[in-house]
Amino acid sequence: MALPRPLLLELLLYGSCFICGIITAASVTISQGSFDGRCMLYGSVRLNSSSISVLSSSSLSLCYFVSAISVCVAVVCFSLTLYWIYIAFVDGEIKREKLWMNVTLGLSGVFLFFLLVTGCILKIGRDRLCDSLLHTVSNITRCEEAQNKSWTSRINASQFYTRLHSAETAVWVNFFFWMIIVVLVLIQRHKGSEIRPGAEDPSAPPSETEPFFNRPGRP
């Protein structure tokens, strides 16, 4: 059974949000592993002779929070996609109740809030780390140049800026896609409220709208 276009677009957005969530979680996790398990969001560095070392790092729960939100969004998007594919190709009947559309809107609002918080954490946390690098390492003018510098032996920071930037970009793209999902669900909800089962057509003549039985007698 063919999916309605708004629902098909919604499923494509769910798939895109799933990919964005995986990219964010993987980028943050790999970046954390590159710094020997430390969470470098809001972190600072120091210059140890000719090598850069970590001066301070954030609580691990901060990176875990970013990864957990991204994974939760990805799991929900994957589940919704499988559900509608099952309804379309196995059950064969596509019917969206107003209640479940309200649930989708509520879930979207929760995800938009947490994605906004996650995006701000990644943006501000990465900027704090970059400010520390720019003030500590004198011969760099951009944060990404620190990827090519010498770090201490237990740190592999060759792609730290690229990974954190990818994670932040994926979060904001995810946020934008969920805003589009909210608009699509609102449109479908509005159309569904206009089509009520059993509603009479005001332009139809009375003989077509009256019940067949129990009609008033005619002289």
Delimit the domains of the chain by residue range.
5-193
DSSP calls for 22-69: HHHHHHHHHHHHHTTT-EEEEEEEEEETTEEEEEEEE-HHHHHHHHHH
Helix (H, G, I), strand (E, B) or coil at 41: strand
Percent of residues, the chain, with pLDDT higher than 90? 50
Highest mean pLDDT among 21-25, 78-82, 96-100: 21-25
Calpha distance 178→172 (Å, rounded): 10
Kindly report, residue by residue over 183-201, the tens digit of the pLDDT. Answer: 999 988 887 654 444 444 4
The pairing of beta strand 39-48 with beta strand 51-58: antiparallel
104 to 43, 90, 125, 189: CA distances (angstroms):
37, 22, 31, 11
Average pLDDT, the chain: 84
Contacts of 192 (CB under 8 A, 6+ apart): 96, 98, 101
Helix (H, G, I), strand (E, B) or coil at 142: coil
Query: Residue 62 — φ and ψ, nearest 5°?
Result: -65, -50
pLDDT at 2 over 90: no
pTM here is 0.82
